[in-house]
Amino acid sequence: LIMLFSTGLGWTPVSGRLDIINYYFEPVTGFMVIDAWLSGQQGAVTSALRHLLLPSIVLSTIPMAVIARQTRSAMLEVLGEDYVRTAHAKGLSTGRVILVHALRNALITVVTVIGLQIGVLMAGAVLTETIFAWPGIGKWMIEAIARRDYPAVQGGLLFIAVSVMLVNLIVDLLYGWINPRVRDSR
């Protein structure tokens, strides 16, 4: 992707978070797009977004494909259920049947898949940050491993593990909210 979009076509920058030759400002929040907007420098936000585009595509492609496939599979399964046919027989519009009756039941499995994809994103961030020269936990972990800085590696792994656990806790809570059978079972 870098060879095609950055080097060949020149649409995106090769690496980094901002064109440091044209823009410089002290970070306020740590989020480059927000900091660029707060700096008031014309073109800084565009530069930050252009630098963000390719890493975002790289990180999101595989998880989005998995989520889309699971959503499609779950929706096809739910649309064949009796209560969906009953809702159609009552005269409800197709959009209402899908949004009110089918989607909520299809989301039960999709939410679980989304939670599992967070671990994939964290692992992918390590490589993506290194390849695109983005300062982040992933790049910091690779540098700590190269320096044999074991406390830093342990701290980074602990942070990533706690983050994944918190996301999975949120997914479990959402699962209970979406699926009343889980919420009401005691």
Dmax over CA atoms of the chain, in Å, equals 67
The percentage of residues in the chain with a pLDDT greater than 90, rounded to a whole number, is 15
Q: How many domains does the chain have?
A: 1
Cβ contacts of 5-9, under 8 Å, gap ≥ 24: 5/54, 6/54
Cβ contacts of 62-66, under 8 Å, gap ≥ 24: 62/120, 62/124, 63/117, 63/120, 63/121, 66/113, 66/117
Query: Could you tell me if 130 and 142 are in contact, meaning their C-beta atoms sit under 8 angstroms apart?
Result: yes
DSSP one-letter code for 28: S
Q: What is the pLDDT of residue 31?
A: 67
Range of the domain at 14: 2-184
Q: What is the pLDDT of residue 21?
A: 61
**Mean pLDDT in residue range 5-17:** 68
Q: What is the pLDDT of residue 147?
A: 93
Q: What is the pLDDT of residue 149?
A: 92
